[in-house]
Amino acid sequence: MPEGRSLEYVPADHPYMLEAKKAREECAGDPLFPNGAILVRDGQVMVRAGNGYNQGSQTVHVCPRVVQECPSGTGYDLCPLHDHDGHAEAMLMKVATEQGINVHGADVYMYGHWWCCEPCWTKMIEVGVARVFVTDDAHERFSRDRVYAETFKSSLRSVYVSGALTNLPADKVQTHKAYYEGIARVCQSMGIQAYVPHLHTDPEQHPQVSVREVFDYDTEKIAAMDAIVADVTYPSLGTGGELMIAYHAKKPLVLLSERGVPVSRFALGNPAVVYHLEYEDYFEALRRLPNILRQL
């Protein structure tokens, strides 16, 4: 908190707070931690804004801060949506400047958060904001756990697990297959059904299945699933094809790869990719995956 500054508190049903709440609903582009703010001067609402670059609500965004479990107030640099410039207070100042509105002596009412970060204070002090109000129960109402409990509801019912099989290095065949099955268990623990191709059409276990059947079966399965989790550590023609099916079927695609392993830029550039997680080992991949899935 900057010297000589403190937050002011009003009840959540204060008329200006209700306006800020409306700004949160209408202007916040951040689906995970929405925050709205208004600027009031001489009893008039001058500007309204929300966090997340004013994209409008319901933007699909998998936040790396959540995936990496960054403590409150840290890791903003990881996320373009949650960077300081996208905070509601900063957005409010930006909109005011664009509209040529004099902010000096005005008050800010904020609904969705219980504090302001340092860069936001700096921005508001610079332009002469007088007071900053939050709700008198903001600490509880907008605690991280409480907001996340509301916004972290995975909408996925099923996931297709994609990854190299045929050309896996010989010493990786068993561990990598076990890892694919681990991905399925992570999904199932979240109530998400998972389809693991090698359990159905593995070239060694199920040699009687014809190549055309494999193609038809896997293609059909992807189309029926809500999302695809693909490990792209080892190049695979099959996985590459599945990534393209995901693209055409507009299915969210989560890419996983071992840190330091180069991944095809064609795969990384697929617009269906909602997140690319680089992991140190299988354990980290499986530990972080729920943090991604619950944002989808």
The nearer residue to Zn ion, 93 or 225, going by C-beta atoms, is 93
Q: How far is the CB of 206 from Zn ion (least distance, A)?
A: 42
Q: How far is the CB of 276 from Zn ion (least distance, A)?
A: 15
State how far the alpha carbon of 54 is from the alpha carbons of 86, 90, 118, 148, 289, in Å.
8, 11, 21, 20, 28
Angstrom distance (rounded) from CA 210 to CA 213: 5
The nearer residue to Zn ion, 124 or 196, going by C-beta atoms, is 124
Rg over CA atoms, the chain: 23
Residues 54, 77: contact at Cβ < 8 Å? no
Q: How far is the CB of 224 from Zn ion (least distance, A)?
A: 30
Question: x/- string (CB under 5 A) for Zn ion, residues 120-139?
Answer: x-------------------
Taking CB under 5 A as the criterion, the residue among 20, 27, 39, 81 binding Zn ion is: 81
Nearest to 253 by CA among 261, 262, 212, 266: 266
Taking CB under 5 A as the criterion, the residue among 79, 103, 106, 267 binding Zn ion is: 79
State how far the alpha carbon of 34 is from the alpha carbons of 23, 55, 62, 112, 256, in Å.
10, 11, 14, 6, 28
The nearer residue to Zn ion, 35 or 239, going by C-beta atoms, is 35
**132 Cβ partners below 8 Å, 6+ apart?**
5, 7, 8, 89, 107, 108, 110, 116, 124
Question: x/- string (CB under 5 A) for Zn ion, residues 29-68?
Answer: ----------------------------------x-x---
Output the CA angle 85-136-46, nearest 5 degrees: 50
Q: How far is the CB of 254 from Zn ion (least distance, A)?
A: 16
Helix (H) or strand (E) holding 132, with range, is strand 131-135
The nearer residue to Zn ion, 87 or 198, going by C-beta atoms, is 87
Task: Encode 248-269: b = buried (16+ Cβ within 10 Å), e = exposed.
Answer: eeebbbbbbbbeeeebeeebee
Task: Encode 13-47: b = buried (16+ Cβ within 10 Å), e = exposed.
Answer: ebebbebbbebbeebbbbbbbbbbbbbbbeeebbb
Q: How far is the CB of 104 from Zn ion (least distance, A)?
A: 20
The nearer residue to Zn ion, 88 or 225, going by C-beta atoms, is 88
Q: How far is the CB of 57 from Zn ion (least distance, A)?
A: 15
Q: How far is the CB of 226 from Zn ion (least distance, A)?
A: 22
Should residue 117 be labelled a site residue for Zn ion when binding is judged by CB under 5 A?
Answer: yes
Q: How far is the CB of 197 from Zn ion (least distance, A)?
A: 32
The nearer residue to Zn ion, 81 or 272, going by C-beta atoms, is 81
The nearer residue to Zn ion, 68 or 219, going by C-beta atoms, is 68
Residue type, 234: Y
Taking CB under 5 A as the criterion, the residue among 21, 24, 41, 82 binding Zn ion is: 82
The nearer residue to Zn ion, 59 or 219, going by C-beta atoms, is 59
Question: x/- string (CB under 5 A) for Zn ion, residues 84-103?
Answer: ---x----------------
How many amino acids of this chain bind Zn ion (CB under 5 A)?
8
Please report, as ranges, the residues that interact with Zn ion according to CB under 5 A.
Answer: 63, 65, 79, 81-82, 87, 117, 120
